[in-house]
């Protein structure tokens, strides 16, 4: 059974940093791309970042590029999101999601087949 | 950037059919995926690659995609189908995942 368990959320001041973790189990972690998706309170889903199975390719939404860094440790079956220079608008539930495949040379289609339960990040003074 | 537009809400009586649209420029050339999200829960994939269903998803959920509109159809709607629904594509021109604006389905 695929399980994704996020941790690391909490209250942080504007301009501060936070690192989220996602512990994965039930599948061969290194064989799949992984992603972070967030949802601000009362709002829709917003894709944040994604990373290939090897960690060699990373992708970011324009809203977080240069501030957030996605990474993974395949020896620990864990996905990370380092969030710096946090803003009030980054307040959201952050979901870890498993991508249906790894990324090839060209991605025509991709989606998320499993999601974690999410961790809440609140940016406020 | 690529934009996906959904109606904010759809209301349907039990036993009837709900249709949720997802509009995007030439979306018919992309593969569209749909997620169901109930209050306080994580999203769940209900349709992938326009019209395929993951195991465990009822046949009442179906999808289509052509031209500038993709559609999620829920047949014989039940009270348990009340949720928010989001469409999603991969935009290869920007290497971004894109979600639709979301549709709240209310069962009357």
User: pLDDT digit string (tens) for A44-65?
Assistant: 999 999 999 999 999 999 999 9
What tokens does A20 get?
């989220």
- B42: nearest CB among A46, A106, A116: A116
pLDDT at A109 over 90: no
Please give the full DSSP string across B50-86, using - where no structure is assigned: TTB--TTS-TTEEEEEETTEEEEEE-S--GGG-EEEE
Neighbours of A124 (CB within 10 A): 10
Both structure tokens of B14: 């039990």
Percent of chain A with pLDDT over 90: 93
Query: Considering CB atoms only, which of A44, A113, A118 is closest to B86?
Result: A44
Q: What is the pLDDT of residue A101?
A: 87
The answer to whether the CB atoms of A45 and B98 lie below 8 A apart is no
Which of B68, B104, B102, B74 is closest to B88 using CA atoms?
B102
Distant-in-sequence, close-in-space partners of A102: CB < 8 Å, separation ≥ 6:
A31, A32, A33, A52, A53, A54
A15-49 confidence digits (pLDDT tens): 999 999 999 999 999 999 999 999 999 999 999 99
Contact yes or no for A109 and B101 at CB 8 A: no
Q: How high does pLDDT run on average in chain A? A: 96
What Å distances lie between residue A89 and A124, B6, B29, CA to CA? 10, 23, 33
A41 has a chain B CB within 8 A of its CB: no
Q: Which residues of B touch A112 (CB under 8 A)?
A: 33, 35, 43, 45, 88
pLDDT at A104 over 90: no
Report the candidate in A92, A111, A105 with the shortest Cα–Cα distance to residue A34.
A111
State yes or no: pLDDT of A115 exceeds 80: yes
Do B73 and B82 meet the contact criterion of CB atoms below 8 Å apart?
A: no
User: Does position A108 have pLDDT exceeding 90, yes or no?
Assistant: no
Contact check, Cβ <8 Å, A109/B43: no
**Which pLDDT score, from 0 to 100, does residue A7 have?**
98
Q: What is the pLDDT along chain B (108 residues), one digit of tens a residue?
A: 999 999 999 999 999 999 999 999 999 999 999 999 999 999 999 999 999 999 999 999 999 999 999 999 999 999 999 999 999 999 999 999 999 999 999 999
- In angstroms, the separation between the Cα of residue A109 and the nearest Cα of chain B is 6
Whether A100 sits inside 8 A of B48 (CB atoms) is: yes
In the predicted model, is pLDDT for residue A102 greater than 90?
Answer: no
């Amino acid at each position: 059974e695929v399980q994704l368990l996020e941790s690391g959320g909490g209250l942080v001041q504007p301009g501060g940093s936070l690192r989220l973790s996602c512990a994965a189990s039930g599948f061969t972690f290194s064989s799949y791309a992984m992603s972070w998706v967030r949802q601000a309170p009362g709002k829709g889903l917003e894709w944040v970042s994604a990373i290939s199975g090897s960690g060699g390719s990373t992708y970011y939404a324009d809203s977080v590029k240069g501030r957030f860094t996605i990474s993974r440790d395949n020896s620990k079956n864990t996905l990370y999101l380092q969030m710096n220079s946090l803003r009030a608008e980054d307040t959201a539930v952050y979901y870890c999601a498993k991508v249906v495949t790894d990324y090839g040379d060209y991605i025509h289609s991709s989606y998320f087949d499993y999601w974690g339960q999410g961790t809440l990040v609140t940016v406020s003074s | 950037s690529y934009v996906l537009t959904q109606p904010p809400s759809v209301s349907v009586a039990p036993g009837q059919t709900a249709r949720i649209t997802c509009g995007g420029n030439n979306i018919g050339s992309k593969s569209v995926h749909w997620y169901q999200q109930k209050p306080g829960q994580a999203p769940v994939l209900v349709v992938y690659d326009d019209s395929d269903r993951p195991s465990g998803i009822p046949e009442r959920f179906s999808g289509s995609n052509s031209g500038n509109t993709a559609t999620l159809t829920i047949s014989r709607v039940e009270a348990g189908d009340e949720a928010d629904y989001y469409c999603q594509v991969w935009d290869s021109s920007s290497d971004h995942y894109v979600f639709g604006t979301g549709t709240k389905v209310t069962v009357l």
